[in-house]
Structure 1
Amino acid sequence: MTYRAFLRSLAFILDQGFWHEEAALEQVLDALPTRQRQAKWPRRLIGRIFTTFSRYTRPSFGELSRFLRGDKDLQADLKRLTAIPLIVWRPGDQTRPHPVLRISGDLPILKSVRDLASFLRMPVNSLQALADVHSREVRTLDARHRHYNYRWIQKRSGGQRLIEIPKERLKHAQSQLLECILRHVPVHEAARAYRRGLSLRDAVEQHVGQRILLRIDLQDFFPSIGVGKVRQVFRHLGYPSVVAMHMAGLCTNVVPQAVLETTSSNHRLSHVYQLPHLPQGAPTSAVLSNLASYRMDARLTGLAAYWSMQYTRYADDLLFSGDSLSAAQVSRLRTQILAVASDEGFRIRRYKTKVMRAGRQQSALGLTLNSQANTMRRDFDNLRALLNNAVRHGLESQNRDNHPKFLEHLAGRVAYHRSMNPKRGARLDRLLSRLTNE
């Protein structure tokens, strides 16, 4: 085996295998002849690689190749051998999840694009069209030929949010990936949104009654999670690069320019939507947003511990709480949070960053947190006034947004208040029952 072929094969094995020090060493040793598996040079090589590159972000094949070509220590080690070792790649060993992941259940083994197409029960050419790895959606003028329907909605805080709704065929493929793969992958404990069995109360409980509460919002959360991070999720699950690329393609989207021209939103919003990103409206996006944010959650949890604080994230809302900090310490902490978020590809909504100390109202996620998790008084008063007016003047007189199922919508809002504050909920229930009995 020539030296160049040896380096190319070595880079390929590291690129296709798991990005974890022990697993990478095991994969390299498995590919070597038996007599070389006790040698010290593979262990030293893996140590240098993981010292050079981040343990959390896998380098590309090109970066690995350049590192190996320039590694003088590897060259010196190989010169001591009588011959360049023969490397044999065993692809069947590469479809296991990352060793540090605690997967619940067995994931489907998919070694090729053909395997993925078979798993999704569609022809390979249909899979390639839906995965759209070349971002043809952005150039598709005829809405009938697009993979998504698009709808702009107004944000409460102002501005607009784009809802990208996958069409039936793509939605079915995404749902299969969600139920058969993504649902079985654990997210970071700090991630509290989009998790079965966790309520809004669970998301804020540990921040109740703290001396200081810091609330920070991430800007454009879903569109800021690009295809690279999504692909990395599937690579960590053990899927080969080309399979992970098509899985990521199925779960991300680029928005046609014609759709963006229908809104007055700012230039940055248009820019992020024209890069492959998580579409808000796809069944896979919520779970993938948590998985793709795992490293950020781990880093911010460590940062919070350094300041003797607690950290949780509910979608794009970052919450830190704990003992009181001075104004200078809060400023340092906020700068450090900004640096971590920026390093992870996110931006902070500076105008929505709030520091709330004990003695004043502390609120997050529409709840007050001073002594117990409770609904905001103004929200309760507004809903009570709406129900009173509906009783007096008729239900439809209050349906200013033309909600198609307005009574069910009101019942859901009342149930939310009841779950957080039974006394307030009972007062709202009495008004709601007068509407349902009419």
Structure 2
Amino acid sequence: MNIKQLISESIDVPLSMVDNAIILARSHVKKFELKKKNDKFRIIHQPSKKLKVIQYWLIYNIFKEMPIHAAAVAYRNELSILDNAERHKRNKYFLKIDFKDFFPSLTFNDLLPFLESWKSSRTDLFINNELKEIIRKSCFYTNDKLVIGYPSSPIISNIIMFDLDENIQSIISDNKYGNVIYTRYADDIIISTDKAGACKEIYKEISTLIKSTITPSLSINVEKTKFSSSSGGSATVTGLRVCHDQHITIHKKQKDHIRLLLSLYAKGILNEKDEKSLIGHLAYCHHVDPAFYSKLSKKYFKEIATIRSSHMKN
């Protein structure tokens, strides 16, 4: 049985549908723009429904079986942004590194060595040229690059980054830099340590490593590189503030915004759109900052109970 037949039988659709979805993979993609905080736009690629099904088959039958480095914390069901921040909370000094055009910098050729390596360790599923071509056409776009919006892009990026994650881990394992923790959330690298001055030296080493790495070919977004400390109150890990007492909380601006929405809701003047936004904010708080959520509940117990109840009914 070839791979297309296996996919066809697994998802219970005609083989012709699988064939057509792969043949038309790159031509049946919708593109739209999302405005970023800096007023620039991010292009999102939305695959056809048929192609999405094939991508999910590849995710659950191929990509989820492939190794991902322990430092990679994004796009993993068992991990959250809170788990990422928790790893760093005992350290005082922080370094944040961001990559330019992360997904489009990752190509099918970057993935190939990992497919070959994984194939050699497997006996139950043979990765042949047919499967490679299906992955190339279904999961990569123009010039065989990853794009934002494909369900398969996040996990593929984690697979491709395995060796670089391992090399960075080797750099920070030297005791001269103190007790160093390294995590990567998509294109955001977070380094923390208990030793003053170590982050600048680590940054030099990582910069050299990335410049000398051929695959994947990445470049650091220098404008977004940031040094901070928990004692200075500026240490942030994936949007969460790490305090000097190891407490993790959301930022003051976000707290003030949530209080404002609750106040408007209590007065009966919050519009439907903002009400939905408030529900999301409250769920987020409940997960990542339960202490703040408890404070809100004491003051707005009735309002929170009402809004949660109405949301559950809907």
TM range (shorter): 0.7 to 0.9
Determine if the alignment matches structure 1 residue 369 to structure 2 residue 233: no
Shift of the alpha carbon at 1:300?
0.8
Question: 1: CA distance between counterparts of 2:161 and 2:132?
Answer: 17
Contact 1:324 1:357 in 2 (8 A): no
Q: Which residue in the other structure is 1:220 paired with? A: 101
Q: Which residue in the other structure is 1:249 paired with? A: 137
Match of residue 163, structure 1, among 31, 44, 50: 44
Q: Against the structure 1 CA distance between its residues 157 and 338, is the aligned structure 2 distance closer, same or farther, given a 3 Å change threshold?
A: farther
Q: Which residue in the other structure is 1:392 paired with? A: 267
Contact 2:97 2:224 in 1 (8 A): yes
Q: Which residue in the other structure is 1:198 paired with? A: 79
Once the two structures are superposed, the pairs formed by residues 10-409 of structure 1 within 5 Å of their partners are 115-121=2-8, 122-123=15-16, 126=20, 129-130=23-24, 137=26, 146-238=27-119, 239-254=127-142, 275-306=143-174, 307-308=177-178, 309-326=180-197, 330-342=199-211, 343=213, 344-361=216-233, 362-370=235-243, 371-392=246-267, 394-396=269-271, 399=273, 407-409=275-277
Unaligned runs of 5+ in 1: 1-113, 132-136, 138-145, 255-274, 400-405
Helix, strand or coil at the partner of 2:231: coil
TM score, norm. by length of structure 2: 0.81
Helix, strand or coil at the partner of 2:181: strand
For residues 182-238 of structure 1, give each alpha carbon's deviation from its aligned partner in whole angstroms, at most 9, with x where no partner exists. Answer: 222231000011112112221121211312111111222212111212333333331
Contact 1:130 1:250 in 2 (8 A): no
Shift of the alpha carbon at 1:283?
1.6
Question: 1: CA distance between counterparts of 2:34 and 2:292?
Answer: 30
Question: 1: CA distance between counterparts of 2:210 and 2:129?
Answer: 26
Following superposition, which runs of at least 4 residues in structure 1 exceed 6 angstroms of deviation? none
Shift of the alpha carbon at 1:251?
0.7
Shift of the alpha carbon at 1:436?
5.8
Give the structure with higher Rg (CA).
Answer: 1
Structure number with greater CO (CA < 8 Å, separation at least 6) is: 2
Question: 2: CA distance between counterparts of 1:181 and 1:409?
Answer: 36
For residues 110-149 of structure 1, give each alpha carbon's deviation from its aligned partner in whole angstroms, at most 9, with x where no partner exists. Answer: xxxx812212223485365146xxxxx4xxxxxxxx2211
Question: 2: CA distance between counterparts of 1:125 and 1:182?
Answer: 21
Unaligned runs of 5+ in 2: 9-14, 120-126
Q: Which letter does structure 1 place at the counterpart of 2:145?
A: H
Question: 1: CA distance between counterparts of 2:22 and 2:231?
Answer: 58
Q: Percent identity?
A: 24
Greater mean deviation of Cα atoms: 166-175 or 276-285: 276-285
What is the number of residues matched between the two proteins? 283
Q: Against the structure 1 CA distance between its residues 436 and 291, is the aligned structure 2 distance closer, same or farther, given a 3 Å change threshold?
A: closer
Contact 1:213 1:356 in 2 (8 A): yes
